[in-house]
Amino acid sequence: MIALDDGSRDASAAILARAAAGDRRVRVIPGGGGLVAALNVAAEAAKGELLARMDADDVASPERFARQVARLDGERALDVLGCRVAVRDDGAAGNAGMRAYVDWSNTLLTHEAIAADMLVESPLVHPSVMIRAATLRRLGGYRDFPGPEDYDLWLRSLAAGCRFGKLPEILLQWRDTPGRLSRTDPRYAAERFFDLKVESFLRGTPAGEAVVVWGAGPIGKSWARELMVRGRVVRAFVEVDPRRIGQTVHGAPVVGVATAAAYRCDVHLAAVGLPDARRRIREAAAALGIERVVAVA
């Protein structure tokens, strides 16, 4: 086990020294330079074929690593493997938004499900992940930039053809506190996630391809506006609300579901917040013979 001390100012260094003295499997190395630098230093120092991510304040099941190693050993095509997690806030944070995120993430177990919702939100809880060392190195490690390094890694992994999975057991208690970086650091602001989603979408679709947006609410409007700023044509919005049909949003007509069939050759965005609504959009689009539907949020 590698324990990287990234400039701790409490008793961590002494605790780690005692652990290393009593167990030769524990290797302590100095860090410095922040989270991303520490992750890359630790990954380079590791000698094993598999790398497990873990935060100091989370609690892993004693079976977590064994189960993940067994799955990765038995499924050589798998590159990145997470597990289901449970929120542990010790009564301090009570974050309903985080619990909703975890509930959604815990539904995504297969590569297909994870890939299909990749532009909705980060589909893997970073401290729950085990990744092949060769895969991480092939991707160039974590990217140090003003944004979420974990979500960026998943997006780059998918673009590179990596395969994902998630164990169905809850093997990590993910601690939520008011001081978590995802709450306090601007790199994890919603705007930075949105920028990554848009950039990933644009890289993955031909430059001249027009877009049809299902949903003329805040999510759909935000996506349409940003795509238009970046030179994409938004051909139409698709809505089920009869009060919106016939209107114009950002210069594009709002049409009913049946009319969406006229835009089969375009890429369609399921731009709504609720998972069940995205499922219904996918089903309606498939019934109309529309093959390319990308879920976003």
Residue pLDDT, tens place only, 214-237: 999 999 999 999 999 999 999 999
CATH at 256: 3.40.50.720
Q: Range of 2's domain?
A: 1-32
Rounded CA-CA distance 261/286 in Å is 10
Helix (H, G, I), strand (E, B) or coil at 11: coil
Q: Residue 96's pLDDT is what?
A: 82
Domain count, the chain: 3
On whether both 95 and 161 belong to a single domain, the answer is: yes
Rounded CA-CA distance 210/196 in Å is 20
Rounded CA-CA distance 185/259 in Å is 44
Is residue 194 a part of any domain in this protein? no
The answer, yes or no, to whether residue 94 has pLDDT greater than 70, is: no
**How confident is residue 92, by pLDDT bands cut at 50, 70 and 90?**
low
CB 165 within 8 A of CB 83: no
114 token code pair = 């994870």
| Number of CB atoms found within 10 A of residue 227's CB | 21
Is residue 158 a part of any domain in this protein? yes
The answer, yes or no, to whether residue 90 has pLDDT greater than 60, is: yes
| Angle, CA of 205, 273 and 111, to the nearest 5° | 55
Is residue 260 a part of any domain in this protein? yes
145 token code pair = 């930039």
On whether both 216 and 111 belong to a single domain, the answer is: no
Residue pLDDT, tens place only, 13-38: 999 999 999 998 899 998 768 889 99
Whole-number mean pLDDT of the chain?
93
**How confident is residue 91, by pLDDT bands cut at 50, 70 and 90?**
low
On whether both 170 and 219 belong to a single domain, the answer is: no
Q: How many CA atoms lie within 13 A of 153 on its CB side?
A: 26
Of the candidates 246, 257, 8, 276, the residue with the CA atom closest to the CA atom of residue 268: 257
Is residue 16 a part of any domain in this protein? yes
Helix (H, G, I), strand (E, B) or coil at 252: strand
Rounded CA-CA distance 295/282 in Å is 9
Residue pLDDT, tens place only, 148-191: 999 999 999 999 999 999 999 999 999 877 666 777 788 999 99
Q: Residue 1's pLDDT is what?
A: 82
On whether both 138 and 22 belong to a single domain, the answer is: no
More confident residue, 103 or 90: 103
CATH at 76: 3.90.550.10
Residue pLDDT, tens place only, 45-74: 999 999 998 887 899 999 999 999 999 999
On whether both 164 and 242 belong to a single domain, the answer is: no
Residue pLDDT, tens place only, 201-218: 999 999 999 999 999 999
